[in-house]
Amino acid sequence: MRTSTDQMRRSVEIPESPQRIISLVPSQTELLYDLGLGERVVGITKFCIHPESWFKTKHRVGGTKKVDMEKIRALKPDLIIGNKEENDRTDIEALAKEFPVWMSDVRDLRDAAHMIAGIGELTGTKEKANEILVGIAEAFGSLEPMVEPLTVAYLIWQEPYMVAGHGTFVNDMLGRCGLINVFDEGDARYPEITPQELAESDPDIILLSSEPYPFKEKHIADINMICPGTPVRIVDGEFFSWYGSRLMGAPAYFQQLLSSLNLGQAS
């Protein structure tokens, strides 16, 4: 056994080479796959949809907010990987009494890099983790943010409307695109807002995320009623909020989005 300090500054006793890993976070599940951990991952959540092969074949241990303790016990994990924001504190505290639980806390790209490096260290996949980190650094290094920044509201939920606010990973991604979050203020990371508050914020553009709420084209009309004349786009929430190996492809997606926004400005 060895002692590892996770991103919540908790000391965790972990086997030298964990062989029965459970992931409680979709973006980190995808990272484990890309690290080549294969059969060493024995459990995932019902929201861990990537890769599809794992979603179809791996044991599911509940959701990110409500885990099934009996299913986890049956899998006899020697390492559980979670996240401060995505997992329920009560669940994590209960799991930590029985199993090694390593927690991430990711609010920006730097935190994501530390998480990837940390999991690479934990699982003996440092070389592959470094390859992923190099790929992410190169991709973000080539990202060209908007020359003339636009203000933006990024909606993640409706009934009530909720937005990505200060200190969120989404907020960091928006900033790297040259987009200024009109709700980047206060302490609320995902504040609830009223339609009036959205209208009064007067963003240049409104982005509707595909997750966690599955905004569709049909919801654009509702937003147009609140903010007439403001462009509204559906965006892939995985690229804005998943902080694992998917980050290698995020800048290319952002660049396409920014190009379309620039064309809109020009017209």
Per-residue pLDDT of 37-67, as tens digits, reads 999 999 999 999 999 999 999 999 999 999 9
Report in angstroms the alpha-carbon separations of 79 from 3, 59, 122, 197, 240: 12, 15, 9, 44, 27
> What's the order of all strands across the beta sheet hosting 101-104?
59-60, 41-44, 21-23, 79-83, 101-104
Judgement on whether residues 116 and 165 belong to the same structural domain of the protein: no
Q: Which of 139, 160, 187 is the last residue of a domain?
A: 139
- Is residue 212, in this structure, part of any structural domain at all? yes
Judgement on whether residues 236 and 210 belong to the same structural domain of the protein: yes
Each residue's pLDDT tens digit, 101-154: 999 999 999 999 999 999 999 999 999 999 999 999 999 999 999 999 999 999
Judgement on whether residues 28 and 93 belong to the same structural domain of the protein: yes
For residue 264, the model assigns a pLDDT of 54
Judgement on whether residues 94 and 195 belong to the same structural domain of the protein: no
Q: What tokens does 109 get?
A: 């790209």
Judgement on whether residues 11 and 121 belong to the same structural domain of the protein: yes
Judgement on whether residues 226 and 126 belong to the same structural domain of the protein: no
Mean pLDDT value across residues 158-162: 96
Judgement on whether residues 52 and 165 belong to the same structural domain of the protein: no
Sign of the torsion formed by the C-alpha atoms of 248, 35, 4 and 45? positive
Number of structural domains (the chain) is: 2
For residue 267, the model assigns a pLDDT of 44
- Is residue 227, in this structure, part of any structural domain at all? yes
Judgement on whether residues 256 and 161 belong to the same structural domain of the protein: yes
For residue 263, the model assigns a pLDDT of 61
Mean pLDDT value across residues 7-28: 97
Judgement on whether residues 156 and 80 belong to the same structural domain of the protein: no
Question: Residue 219 is inside which H or E element, if any?
Answer: none
- Backbone phi, then psi, for 243, in 5-degree steps? -115, 25
Judgement on whether residues 254 and 175 belong to the same structural domain of the protein: yes
**CATH code, domain with 165:** 3.40.50.1980
DSSP 23-62: E--HHHHHHHHHTT-GGGEEEE-TT--SSHHHHHHSEE-B
Judgement on whether residues 114 and 190 belong to the same structural domain of the protein: no
Judgement on whether residues 123 and 214 belong to the same structural domain of the protein: no
- Is residue 230, in this structure, part of any structural domain at all? yes
* Domain with 162 in it: 150-266
Each residue's pLDDT tens digit, 175-184: 999 999 999 9
Whether the pLDDT of residue 207 is over 70: the answer is yes
- Is residue 144, in this structure, part of any structural domain at all? no
* Of residues 57, 81, 58, 51, the one with CA closest to residue 246: 51
- Is residue 145, in this structure, part of any structural domain at all? no
